[in-house]
Amino acid sequence: MELFLYRGEWGLPTIDYDCARLLAYLKFSEAKITLNFNGNPFSSPTGMLPYLVTEEGKKIGGYNKITEYLQSRGFDANAQLENQNYIVINGCIQYVFENLFPYFMYSLWGDPKNLDTTRALYAKRIPIPFNFYCPRKYVLKTNELTVSLGGFALEDSVELHDVKDMMLNAKKCINWISEKLGDNRFFFGDTPSEIDAILYGYLSVLLKLTLPNNVLQNHVKQCGNLVKFVERITTIYFAREGFTSANGSTPGSSSSNDSSKAKSEPEQKFYDGTQKDSDDTPYERRKRYVVSGIFATIAMISQHDHGGGANFISYDEPEYDDEE
């Protein structure tokens, strides 16, 4: 089996929340899977990373479906817990998802002050031309959240972005996590479980990604046990996978002291236009050539219609089956 992910930064194994929680799940369940940090979202059945290629060649996209498949193969991050904790875990996961996830996504993909930083971070890890539109998948997903929970669309004037309730719920959730964790190594004591994997996904990104407007990062840093929680899991489980690029001190990177100590792996390069996924079949290549041709055609038409000026063109998002 092979898992395709986004490359990390700031000493973390990945920049992405979904990829981070899945990586932690793999470590906690002791699943032995080949990791490919040059994944292409366009090859994923969801249009996002992570995705898994099974031994039979089947592609599975999204955290939920991948963990379900792993559990069917005997890899369960909750296997060491007592039975009564299973119900508690599901309740904790749901609470965190409902209260932290919405503003977490808005901070990265909805806040006009932060969007360019986040988009550039992801685009650097996606091959051309897919890096122009694959990040848009996350923007659309965030827009669905803000419309349903906040009553505004991301294209609305920023004065209409009423995120006070989402921000407050996120802060309360972080406080709750910190209180429940206490002085424990993990959420249920000395044994890691799926809730720890999910919390690592959120907290590692919040703690390390420096954004122009990062309210939640400042809040997490005030909870010393959460900072130690992230550092503990990164050090114990991802000492080898942790990555820091040569220009890791860019505005999109963390200024934390510990990030400079992370192991850098210069031999694992970002996309340079010549790399391809290991599951790159003739069908996949033909699909990419077609998309490249479409982009080139649109660019020429745009240049002709607008007198040669550079213009952004809106287009319909390709249909994918979302994980959630």
pTM over 0.85: no
- pLDDT of the residue at 1: 95
In the numeric block, the tokens 């890899």 are attached to 75
- pLDDT of the residue at 247: 62
pLDDT means per 10 residues, the chain with 324 residues, are: 96 97 97 94 95 97 97 94 80 96 98 97 94 93 96 96 97 98 95 96 97 96 98 96 70 37 41 45 51 48 41 35 44
Residue spans of the domains in the chain: they are 2-73, 83-239
User: What does CATH list as the number for 83-239?
Assistant: 1.20.1050.10
Cβ-based neighbours of 99, under 8 Å, separated by 6 or more: 169, 170, 172, 173
Residue pair 111/139 in contact by the 8 Å Cβ criterion: no
How distant, in Å, are the alpha carbons of 42, 49, 112, 131, 283 from that of 128? Answer: 11, 16, 24, 5, 18
CA atoms within 13 A on the CB side of 282: 0
Distance CA 230, CA 254 (A): 14
With residue 51 as reference, give the H or E element that holds it: strand 51-53
Distance CA 153, CA 147 (A): 5
Which three-class secondary structure state does DSSP give residue 218? helix
